[in-house]
Amino acid sequence: MSSKGSMGKRSVSSAGFAGVPTPEPDSISSAHAHILAWYLANRRDLPWRATRDPYAILVSEIMLQQTQVDRVLPKYRQFLALFPTLADLAAAPTSEVISAWIPLGYNLRAVRLQSIARQVIAEYGGRIPDTAEDLLRLKGIGRYTAGAIACFAYHRRVATVDTNIYRVLHRIFLGLEYPEARLTTEQMFLFAEHVLPGDAFDWNQALIDLGATICSSANPQCSRCPVQ
């Protein structure tokens, strides 16, 4: 990828919002078309994409924090077999939850996941909230996870930003050298909302896959980029 990014700096207007440059509409539409077409042909077959169960998606999102997909896949299935519902997880002894989680590492995630389950049982009648705003009221849920659950479980049209999404959006629309100081998390969430298409589910998943497989941090395969 060139230092100007795949779409080029000329695609960014000098005007902006909240200090964030604004891409030209044609650049946004072109990125949508190319990236979504690439995703439909190359998307990874992941079990949490085949369900709309918000509990199963919550489990996957917590597991994927700081852990690679290949390590999560077997443990995701095992964990849901042991604790198939939110109520099962909430009622289980914490020691059993941690024991089931141990091979993934960062075991406090298991404690936090069970705490979320218990809060949902106590305060939401066992139903995981369906908006990012309400999900953020759950202790241990951050902005990315709230947006991911709202989008992937409930098909809400909401932008969300993790490390992969941040990197891909920045490189495609803003380039590697612009700005010298990277956008803040708040600015990137605003930016992601601005470029969000109608099909938020496939778009967010596509950005995740693009960042994980082609637009990687250390060794991006720019010749294979769908917007090259």
Model pLDDT, residue 2: 41
Model pLDDT, residue 158: 97
Model pLDDT, residue 175: 83
Task: Evaluate whether residue 1 is within a structural domain.
Answer: no
Model pLDDT, residue 5: 45
Where is the domain boundary, 139, 154, 169? Answer: 154
Q: Could you read off the pLDDT tens digit of each residue along the chain, which spans 228 residues?
A: 443 444 444 345 444 666 677 889 999 999 999 999 999 999 999 999 999 999 999 999 999 998 999 999 999 999 999 999 999 999 999 999 999 999 898 999 999 999 999 999 999 999 999 999 999 999 999 999 999 999 999 999 999 999 999 999 999 998 875 556 678 889 999 999 999 999 999 999 999 999 999 999 888 999 999 998
**Residue-wise DSSP of 149-188:** HHHHHH--------HHHHHHHIIIII-SSSSSSPPPHHHH
Are residue 129 and residue 75 in the same domain, yes or no?
A: yes
Model pLDDT, residue 20: 73
Model pLDDT, residue 111: 97
- The residues annotated as belonging to the active site are 61
Where is the domain boundary, 154, 179, 210? Answer: 154
Closest to 175 (Cα-Cα) out of 26, 5, 2, 41: 5
Where is the domain boundary, 126, 154, 182? Answer: 154
Based on the structure, what is the number of domains in the chain? 2
Model pLDDT, residue 1: 43
Are residue 196 and residue 115 in the same domain, yes or no?
A: no
